[in-house]
Structure 1
Amino acid sequence: MFENFSIPVESKATLVSMVCPHFNGHDNDAETAASLRELRELLRTLGVVAQSEHIQQRKKLEASTMIGKGKLEEIAEVARAEDSTFLVFDFELTASQVKNIKKITGFEAIDRCSVILEIFAKHAHTREAKIQIEISRLEYLLPRLTTFWTHFTRIRGGAYHKGGEGEQQLELDRRMVRKRIEHYREQMKEIVVSREQQRKRREKNVVTAAIVGYTNAGKSSLMNRLCKVHVVEEDKLFSTLDVTCRTLNPESRPPMVMIDTVGLLQNLPASLISGFKTTLDSAETADLLVIVCDISDHNHEKHLQVTIDFLKELGIGDKDRIIVFNKKDLLASPDENLNAIIMLRTHPHSFLISCHDPQDVKKLREFIINFFLNQQSHYDLFIPYEQGEAHAMVLSKTNVMSQVHHQNGIFYRIRVPDFIIQHLGVSRYILSQDDPRRSEF
């Protein structure tokens, strides 16, 4: 009853956008064309063939249809000629606009937000991701419910604005959708509490680096190479929606863990922004941010800025970070290579790599490992033999540089992050700087 237009797989779509600075921030055809390229990739992820593109220059919006009626009729002719199934608009549409566009063109009209929601729904696997996407979908659907009862009211003869049967059912549906949203939000609260408890336990035992960046920048591919494991990697937008954790260096104490996060996107619909922030909360607690940017994309500078701005919104813009300019193997011209070098010089602590070059991956991996090692402090401890649990903690949770057996216990020289030592329960065994027993080392 509540489903909006479902996007058929292997269907064809005609794309529509406009240049209207006061509406969508596209100041010129180039920016609009770049956004349409991204929309094509989104549709490809759904298995939809994107066909012709139509861009209208507008100084002000047409309230009923966004773009002019004449332009819509022209687009409809092309769409029929190329056998399109529906029209896709690269901006958000209201329920009445969808209805009016269909009346003029004869085609179903869907917007960018619908496309993204469809991708999210198909790619979410964990309970948390599925619930968050369902909340976003229902919030998007709620103000559009009128569309689904227009036809009902007409054929039943209900007085739509006089308390007719259609209007009564519409209000019932709205209440039901609001109730479902509230139900899912309560479930999300429980998940957030549980995840926070897990995070606090994890913080006591590991250090983390979160991989963040624009969608399809190669984050999952990079994680696969760095951690020498397999995480799903596809040449599609939003192939990763669920947070994935993998160990970077199993020999290190504490373990160094990489976290792969959902990709970002410019011009995100409001109903999806909260969902993105929820999935990116692992970046908030990470010890290091690894920002991945596709240097071969013509809009790489804008994509990088979208990522940086989003991190600032999360309140972690000043967290330790490195920038990885990925896909250098796809740079095709001297100008592109020169631009890549300029980007390296512009951004401190940045790397130009290809995930397919083992040497590039090795250098980056060594840098990240050394970053964590440099965050560690040295401690000298003396632990009596009978303190078995303390010995176990030191041996399993710290990097033991050396150990010397004594008549009454063992001297340890260890390297470990300061915040970890506080959770190990061995602080009372730390030797002060003037302790004469330090000479044992």
Structure 2
Amino acid sequence: MQEVQQRETEKVILVGCQFTEDDDSFARSLDELASLVKTAKGTVVATVTQKRQKVEPSTYIGRGKVDEIITLIEEKQADTIVFNDELSPSQVRNMHVRTKVTIIDRTQLILDIFAARAQSREGKLQVELAQLSYLLPRLAGQGLALSRQGGGIGSKGPGETQLESDRRHIRRRMDEIKHQLEAVVGHRQRYRERRKQNEVLQIAIVGYTNAGKSTLLNRLTAADTLEENQLFATLDPTTRQFVLPSGLQVLLSDTVGFIQDLPTTLVAAFRSTLEELQHAHLLLHVVDSSNPDYLQHERTVRTLVEELGADKIPQLLVYNKADEQVADFFPTRTEDSVEVSAFDQEDVTELKHVIEEKLVEQLMPYRVMLSPDEGRLLARCKQETLRSVQQWDEAEERYEVSGYVSQHTALGQELRNRMKDEE
């Protein structure tokens, strides 16, 4: 709590360079950076922008803009400068020497937010590994900026000691973290194998940060996941049981939110967590349709899903916040998409039916006749398949059971063989 109070008073100057003619996209990118600073408990006191053909190698921005920033620092009593891009070690060093304040780039800001948000042991280890991977090549260039301890933006370091001063210590710590994560990943894989043996269908929620993924998870499953109008409100993955309208129980997982230019160190560190996507039967791609930049957000998530090797998994586009849609909203596709408001119960009910329909597309239809003494198989059909009919046939004195089942499961194979025998 003390740390949060310290962070609330930090005054930040935003710096961005525009290299294209797309003014709207650049403005939205700076707005997103301001939201990230707010999430990190900073206050934006000024924004400095510049149009350039290419980056200035030594300071990222031109000499005149550096002088303008120095004047703003004195005028606004700013503590930190946050750049809307990833800086090289020499650019960080040169800007710090010129301005005498802390220099943070977009990557380090996101890492800082993740460090503050991580709750689980695995999440904390993953963030620390990402921080150290980012920090290691920058040791020579950061100088006095790294000696600052406390609660400011960018100083949410991976430990109490100054790890930055000793490369060998950092590498040793990274090896320790990787070893600890291997044990956690092994546990996750065993849990995943157990779910596979239990033949449970899995659904994963993906989307841009603050698209409403956790809210949807809560409405669909009655989970108690944190809901906040902030970027990266939920960091640690959450998996809950989700009951489809047919009564079948499946697993629904919430994942960490994506963001444009998500640091590669974070993608690498969270790969074991994000691998859950590759084992899902359906991806719910949640898009905030009230955000003017929703198309870019949608493309960003698609690209990251492809990088994670999950692009072949069926997707359902869920355009959330339909009650606040932007005026010129138009879905990128009408098939495999639905517009909802997570706070409208009718919309949530409709979404459940659409999810079930999408899952049915991947399943094998079956129809079998079961005798009364086949109670075990009848129970499995009830628990592990999407049943559409179960009725007693007086003439046959057997149960007629039909529905849909995954043909890759043991039960699917058994029902397929059963249907062949009954032909």
1:68 equivalenced with 2:59 (yes/no): no
C-alpha displacement at 1:195, in angstroms? Answer: 1.3
C-alpha displacement at 1:64, in angstroms? Answer: 2.1
CA distance in 2, matches of 1:392, 1:219: 33
- Mark the CA change 1:397 to 1:52 in structure 2 (over 3 Å): closer, same or farther: same
1:378 equivalenced with 2:371 (yes/no): no
1:180 equivalenced with 2:167 (yes/no): no
C-alpha displacement at 1:315, in angstroms? Answer: 2.3
CA distance in 2, matches of 1:399, 1:350: 22
1:302 equivalenced with 2:296 (yes/no): yes
Q: Tell me the residue number matched to 1:159.
A: none
Q: Judge conservation of contact 2:139–2:164 (CA < 8 Å) in 1.
A: no
Q: Pick the aligned partner of 1:364 from 334, 338, 351.
A: 351
Corresponding residue SS for 1:378? strand
CA distance in 1, matches of 2:94, 2:36: 25
Which letter maps to 1:263?
A: G
Q: Judge conservation of contact 1:293–1:324 (CA < 8 Å) in 2.
A: yes
Q: Judge conservation of contact 1:403–1:411 (CA < 8 Å) in 2.
A: yes
C-alpha displacement at 1:73, in angstroms? Answer: 1.7
CA distance in 2, matches of 1:377, 1:151: 63
- Identity rate of aligned residues, in percent? 33
Q: Tell me the residue number matched to 1:87.
A: 81
CA distance in 2, matches of 1:202, 1:82: 56
Q: Tell me the residue number matched to 2:138.
A: 144
Q: Judge conservation of contact 1:209–1:289 (CA < 8 Å) in 2.
A: yes
Q: Judge conservation of contact 2:212–2:288 (CA < 8 Å) in 1.
A: yes
Superposition TM-score, scaled by structure 1 size: 0.80
- Mark the CA change 1:70 to 1:421 in structure 2 (over 3 Å): closer, same or farther: closer
Q: Judge conservation of contact 2:15–2:48 (CA < 8 Å) in 1.
A: yes
Bigger mean CA deviation after superposition, 245-254 or 271-280: 245-254
CA distance in 1, matches of 2:250, 2:376: 23
Q: Tell me the residue number matched to 1:166.
A: none
Q: Tell me the residue number matched to 1:14.
A: 13
C-alpha displacement at 1:127, in angstroms? Answer: 2.0
What's the CA shift string for 1:367-406, capped at 9, x where partnerless? 1123334535324254684x77656545544466436599
What's the CA shift string for 1:62-90, capped at 9, x where partnerless? 22211123211211212321222211111
Q: Tell me the residue number matched to 1:261.
A: 255
Q: Tell me the residue number matched to 1:348.
A: 335
CA distance in 2, matches of 1:32, 1:275: 28
The correspondence of residues 10-409 of structure 1 with structure 2, limited to 5 A, is: 10-20=9-19, 26-147=20-141, 173-203=166-196, 204-249=198-243, 254-331=248-325, 336-337=326-327, 339-340=328-329, 342-343=330-331, 346-373=333-360, 375-380=363-368, 382=370, 385=373, 393-394=380-381, 396-398=383-385, 401-402=389-390
Which letter maps to 1:174?
A: R
1:422 equivalenced with 2:415 (yes/no): no
Q: Judge conservation of contact 1:246–1:258 (CA < 8 Å) in 2.
A: yes
- Mark the CA change 1:293 to 1:399 in structure 2 (over 3 Å): closer, same or farther: closer
Q: Judge conservation of contact 1:398–1:414 (CA < 8 Å) in 2.
A: no
Q: Judge conservation of contact 1:253–1:397 (CA < 8 Å) in 2.
A: no
Q: Judge conservation of contact 1:253–1:416 (CA < 8 Å) in 2.
A: no
C-alpha displacement at 1:190, in angstroms? Answer: 2.7
CA distance in 2, matches of 1:189, 1:183: 10
Superposition TM-score, scaled by structure 2 size: 0.83
Larger Rg: 1 or 2?
1
CA distance in 2, matches of 1:281, 1:246: 17
Which letter maps to 1:64?
A: S
C-alpha displacement at 1:316, in angstroms? Answer: 2.4
CA distance in 1, matches of 2:264, 2:42: 24
CA distance in 2, matches of 1:228, 1:138: 37
- Mark the CA change 1:357 to 1:151 in structure 2 (over 3 Å): closer, same or farther: closer
Which letter maps to 1:367?
A: V
Which letter maps to 2:18?
A: V
- Mark the CA change 1:423 to 1:128 in structure 2 (over 3 Å): closer, same or farther: farther
CA distance in 2, matches of 1:429, 1:372: 19
Q: Judge conservation of contact 2:245–2:356 (CA < 8 Å) in 1.
A: no
Bigger mean CA deviation after superposition, 291-300 or 191-200: 191-200
- Mark the CA change 1:207 to 1:98 in structure 2 (over 3 Å): closer, same or farther: same
CA distance in 2, matches of 1:148, 1:434: 73
Corresponding residue SS for 1:18? strand
Which letter maps to 2:177?
A: Y
C-alpha displacement at 1:354, in angstroms? Answer: 1.8
CA distance in 1, matches of 2:411, 2:179: 32
Bigger mean CA deviation after superposition, 236-245 or 368-377: 368-377
Which letter maps to 1:240?
A: T
Corresponding residue SS for 1:307? helix
